[in-house]
Structure 1
Amino acid sequence: MKNWRKLVLATLLLLPSLAAAQDFPAKPIRLVVPFPAGGPNDIIARVIGQRMSEISGQPVIIDNRGGQGGVLGTDAVAKSQPDGYTIAISSAGALAISPSMEKVAYDTLKDLTPVTLVATVPEMLVVATNVPAKDIGELIALAKAQPGKLNFASSGPGSLPHLAGELFKLTASIDIVHVPYRGAAPAVNDLLGQQVKMTFLDLPVLLPQIKAGSLRPIAVGSPERAQTAPDVPTTAEAGFPALRIENWYGMVAPKGTPKEIVTTLHRLATQAMADPAVKEKLTAQGASLVGDTPEHFRQFIANETAKWAKVIKDAGVETAK
């Protein structure tokens, strides 16, 4: 009898949450972007969020919470109520790299619920126009002929462009010097001014300068050539398949978000990504839409975390942990 009463009580307690899950979303959803407005993460979130709003009939409000390379905004979501009304589209840095580089207040796979991998964006290796190398083989030969003389810019210590450069060093067995900047814009400015020699950055950031002939593209880190730069070979085509480097953006919710709500968020996001207008807008930004399952995205995050943790260790990158 006691067990039966406990079962009835537990069922009664669950009824409000079950009803809430069935009615979801019944009010506006706050979509946190852990970077300032205008960047790739923000553009992707706004395009996806707008279509999710149209599909669900509820506003999807973009909340830009930049700081610490995406960590602060991602942490805010990890600490939010697990009701589906506060979610994020965060990046590779905050979800898979920063936890190995510095002390962060969350464990990605323990404190966040993966919803779906939204998009990947290839990292492009470019050089300043005063660098004589025309392809990756010539660039490596130049670096080996001048060990410690060539440098590469990044958007900051521990950023994906920084680790991309470190992976390049390890893969090609070359000695090039890291020059960190506070963001991609100043890195590109100094590259244009020929104060640094090369960089890996998100393709959309570099595309205007590539089209203008102000920077020379060497290779793209995606498995296939980019639609927005079809003449640029992949790193695999250039003989370096291990030098696969893509930034990525994925939707996450707080730990404990009910499965039914995660399923609804997944449906809204993947339906938004399937929309031809959404695909057209984001393809023009150099992004490839994905839309996998929560389970696959969880494993993807685990694999990316292990990959970059190994690069950090093997390259002897200084961490703040």
Structure 2
Amino acid sequence: MKSQRRFGKVLKALAPACLLSMAGVCAAQPWPAKPVTIVVPFPAGGTTDVLARAVATKLSPVIGQSVIVDNRPGAGSTLGAALVAKAAPDGHTLLMGAVHHTIATSVYKKLPYDFQKDFAPITTVAIVPNVLVVSSAKPYKAVADLVADAKTKPEKLSYGSNGSGTAQHLIGTQFQMASGTALLHVPYKGSAPLATDLLGGQVDMSFDTITPVLPFIRDGKLKPLAVTTAKRSSVLPDVPTMQEAGISSLAIGTWFGLLAPAATPATVTARLNAEIVRIINTPEFRKQMMDIGAEPVGNSQADMVRQIREETEKFAGLVKAGKVTVE
């Protein structure tokens, strides 16, 4: 009995130390300890969603955990970003961010996060050209035809975007400034509902990324008039650039990349960068991107930080010139 009581006292004395030791083991638990979620701030079907799912499919077997895509659309991509900014910084919640977020910084008067301070960039996955498309039922054969018609109908022709403050919104604004036209802006929550209305004639045109509209272009349901990047797209080689079509001051593409909450351990973001860049550089993934009109990137974390800083500054000037604001 005495030995049992003595043993019990020893266990009681050791208990706190054991608990501390277990806590240390838990704290040092290697990443990932559970499924990883990639938040997409747009509905399913758009370019952001397509790229996120492509990465998720390849990343899951590499890290030995499920990678879940969670669509959280709204407020021009800022609702999903706000969710990730407030998430636990443990590498289990990521954001598929895009150029839209560098624009939103200047467009929205109040945001619940600072895109440059509250996120840790991982890598840019791809850059996708935007393309001016109209329904094939429209009579326009070139950008000049559309511009000429728009000038006779101020604010009668409409263009859809993925939301106020997105790249499509800003490209539409720049297009009007450069062409001397006045168009009606119709914001949507994403590419899928926009494409539906574009095909149905409820909206006259869009400046969406190539990926969601490419199947309709190939089917002959949508007509591409010009791409918005400085060079032609490899999947639409016969479609001129805006500069070639006479809109010389317009050259914008849309980038998409992964970010984590700012306080995520550097070891985790570094591993994510290494694994995802390796995936991006595989022939299979690169072909998958090229097939949907995307140009794969896979840059360093430092390069993505620099890219975000420079584009935030650039778009601040464009937003000011176009007087684009969102409450």
In the alignment, structure 1 residue 264 sits paired with structure 2 residue 271: yes
In the alignment, structure 1 residue 64 sits paired with structure 2 residue 71: yes
In the alignment, structure 1 residue 97 sits paired with structure 2 residue 90: no
Native 8 Å contact 2:161 2:186 kept in 1:
yes
Give the secondary-structure state (helix, strand or coil) at the position aligned to 1:45: helix
Q: 1:149 to 1:266 in 2, by over 3 A?
A: same
Letter in 2 for 1:97: I
Q: CA deviation at 1:297?
A: 1.0
TM-score w.r.t. structure 1 length? 0.83
Alignment match, 2:5: none
Which of 43, 50, 55 aligns to 1:48? It is 55
Counterpart Cα distance in 1 of 2:316 and 2:78: 17
Alignment match, 1:179: 186
Q: CA deviation at 1:179?
A: 3.1
Alignment of 1:241-256 (within 5 A): 241-256=248-263
In the alignment, structure 1 residue 124 sits paired with structure 2 residue 131: yes
Q: CA deviation at 1:24?
A: 3.7
Which of 184, 194, 201 aligns to 1:194? It is 201
Which of 70, 73, 78 aligns to 2:80? It is 73
In the alignment, structure 1 residue 155 sits paired with structure 2 residue 172: no
Alignment of 1:271-290 (within 5 A): 271-290=278-297
Counterpart Cα distance in 2 of 1:27 and 1:319: 37
What are the superposed Cα offsets for residues 234-267 of structure 1, whole Å, 9 maximum, x if unpaired? 2233344531222221111111223222211110
Between structure 1 and structure 2, the one with the greater Rg is 2
Native 8 Å contact 1:209 1:215 kept in 2:
yes
Alignment match, 1:113: 120
Is there any run of 5+ residues in structure 2 with no aligned partner, and where? Answer: 1-23
Native 8 Å contact 2:46 2:192 kept in 1:
no
Q: Paired residues, what number?
A: 302
Counterpart Cα distance in 2 of 1:298 and 1:239: 33
Deviates more, 1:23-32 or 1:259-268: 23-32
Q: CA deviation at 1:97?
A: 2.1
Q: CA deviation at 1:190?
A: 3.5
Is there any run of 5+ residues in structure 1 with no aligned partner, and where? Answer: 1-15
Give the secondary-structure state (helix, strand or coil) at the position aligned to 2:299: coil
Q: CA deviation at 1:45?
A: 1.2
Q: 1:56 to 1:289 in 2, by over 3 A?
A: same
Alignment match, 1:302: 309
Give the secondary-structure state (helix, strand or coil) at the position aligned to 2:208: strand
Native 8 Å contact 1:96 1:301 kept in 2:
yes
Counterpart Cα distance in 2 of 1:59 and 1:292: 24
What are the superposed Cα offsets for residues 4-24 of structure 1, whole Å, 9 maximum, x if unpaired? xxxxxxxxxxxx79x949x44
Letter in 2 for 1:310: G
Native 8 Å contact 1:166 1:311 kept in 2:
no
What are the superposed Cα offsets for residues 268-304 of structure 1, whole Å, 9 maximum, x if unpaired? 1101111222222222222211111112111211222
Deviates more, 1:285-294 or 1:132-141: 132-141
Counterpart Cα distance in 2 of 1:160 and 1:30: 25
Native 8 Å contact 2:129 2:210 kept in 1:
yes
Q: CA deviation at 1:135?
A: 2.0
What is the Cα-based RMSD across aligned positions, in Å? 2.5
TM-score w.r.t. structure 2 length? 0.82
Which of 20, 30, 38 aligns to 1:31? It is 38
